Amino acid sequence: MARFIVRRLVAMIGVLFAVSVIVFVVFMVLPKQNPAQTLAGKNATPVLVKSIEEEWGFDDSLVVQYGTMMKKVFTGELTSYKPRIPVDDQIKEGIPATFSLTIGAAIIWLFFGLLLGYLSAIRAGGWLDRILTGVSIAGISIPVFLLAPVLLYFLTYKIELFPNAQYVDFSEDPYEWARHLILPWFTLALLSIGFYSRVLRSNMLDVMNEDYVRTARAKGLSERQVMTRHVLRNSLIPVVTLFGLDFGATIAGTAIITEVLFSLDGIGLYAAEAVRKFELPPIMGVALYGAFFVVFVNALVDVAYAYLDPRVRLGESASE
């Protein structure tokens, strides 16, 4: 197990390094236009461009520039171009909203996704299964771009059931915190509810054909015990991996769009505003920290997975 963790950590550091190089290349090497020119604006004089170039170190060699960028990232000195606000502070301010949104949504999607998947699987082929299948497919097919405006229009503007999001801190007012987050939670969760229920259903149907399930039945366990202790438990293992990947991907993907649509003051909204103003350092910061977080979560999930399923880590060491 220790060996497995070390291997995973090494792989993680490799990916983190790749991420930082890719982000650097994306912002400093690939663009045709000189970053100083971008920063100075369209009608800048060559003198201004030159001074910006020197000030931000755009004229250094690429290796030095990469070093400077990484130093700034680790010491928290990354600042936006204009006005000069530390990127770290902005990201820290966005954390409560982003985490409230994503963790809340994750709880909702796990709960409903697994519940619907379980019900669907134990009634496979029946009318309940068919209805739930329909619901899941509908849920999977609705993009957040459509769901959020529809919910906002009908539930916020038409009947004023929910406030137009804005984040309220939990410590200020837990009730308002939840009321402001219900629509974004649901928007973010719906797609995954559909997806998880499909995945759990198909996993359970596969597991039901395994020998050990037949053995469990043969030794006289009740149907309920067979389902919960043997089928469900074993079907959940792949879901753990899936969840780790999805949680990271959601934070770095759909959550950004959801925050913008509901104007929640999180990291995603901060990044989106930086995009709108063509401010590169905040996007660089968000991309780097976000990528680090996602890679870290994925590594954690891998370890958890190996812990749950001995075949994984044994397979790893056997192949060495």
Partner 1 sequence: MPTEPSAERGPWSLALRRFLRNRLALAFLGLFVLIVVFVMAAPLWANHVADTGPNEEHTVEQITVNGEKKDVVTVEGKPIGPQWFGAGGKFFLGADSRLGRDEMVRLMYGGRTSLQIGITAALIATILAVVLALLAGYFRGWVDGLIARTLDVIWSLPVFLIGLSLGIALAVGGLKLGPLEISSGSNWNPIFVISIFTVPYIARPIRGQVLALSEKEFVEAAVAQGAGPLRVMFSEILPNLASTIIVFFTLMIANSMLFEAGLSFLGAGVQPPNSSWGTMITVGVELLNIQPLLAILPGLMIMLTVLSLNIVGDALRDALDPRGKARMDAALEFEAHGGVTAGAQQGAVV
Is position 33 an interface residue for partner 1 (rule: CB under 8 A)? yes
Is position 287 an interface residue for partner 1 (rule: CB under 8 A)? yes
**What would the two tokens of residue 13 be?**
């550091």
Q: Which of 57, 67, 143, 310 binds partner 1 (CB under 8 A)?
A: 143
Binding segment for partner 1 (CB under 8 A), chosen from 50-58, 149-157, 177-185, 210-218, is 149-157
Q: How far apart are CA 155 and CA 67, in angstroms?
A: 50
Binding segment for partner 1 (CB under 8 A), chosen from 10-18, 67-75, 77-85, 213-221, is 10-18
- Any residues with CB less than 8 A from the CB of 181 and at least 6 apart, and which? 100, 101, 104, 165, 167, 264
**What would the two tokens of residue 150 be?**
């529809």
**What would the two tokens of residue 154 be?**
């009908």
Closest CA to 189 of 118, 243, 123: 243
Nearer to partner 1, 14 or 126 (CB): 14
Nearer to partner 1, 46 or 220 (CB): 46
Q: Which of residues 218-257 bind partner 1 (CB under 8 A)?
A: 242, 245-246, 248-254, 256-257
Least separation in angstroms between residue 258's CB and partner 1 is 8
Is position 58 an interface residue for partner 1 (rule: CB under 8 A)? no
Q: Which of residues 65-124 bind partner 1 (CB under 8 A)?
A: none
Residues 308, 237 contacting (CB under 8 angstroms): yes
**Bridge partners for 46 per DSSP:** none
SS3 79: strand
Q: For residue 42, with 0-12 CB atoms within 10 Å meaning exposed, 13-18 middle and 19 or more buried, which class applies?
A: exposed
Is position 41 an interface residue for partner 1 (rule: CB under 8 A)? no
Residues 86, 98 contacting (CB under 8 angstroms): no
Is position 140 an interface residue for partner 1 (rule: CB under 8 A)? yes
Least separation in angstroms between residue 222's CB and partner 1 is 31
Q: For residue 10, with 0-12 CB atoms within 10 Å meaning exposed, 13-18 middle and 19 or more buried, which class applies?
A: exposed
Least separation in angstroms between residue 66's CB and partner 1 is 15
Least separation in angstroms between residue 306's CB and partner 1 is 17
The residue to which tokens 């939840």 are assigned:
178
Is position 271 an interface residue for partner 1 (rule: CB under 8 A)? yes
DSSP 8-state class, residue 85: -
Nearer to partner 1, 216 or 288 (CB): 288
Is position 155 an interface residue for partner 1 (rule: CB under 8 A)? no
| Residue 272: how many other CB atoms lie within 10 Å | 18
Q: Kindly list the residues in this chain that would bind partner 1 in the complex (CB under 8 A).
A: 14-15, 18-19, 22-23, 26-27, 30-35, 38, 136-137, 140-146, 149-150, 152-153, 157, 191-192, 194-195, 198-199, 242, 245-246, 248-254, 256-257, 260-261, 271-272, 275-276, 278, 280, 283-284, 286-287, 290-291, 294-295, 298
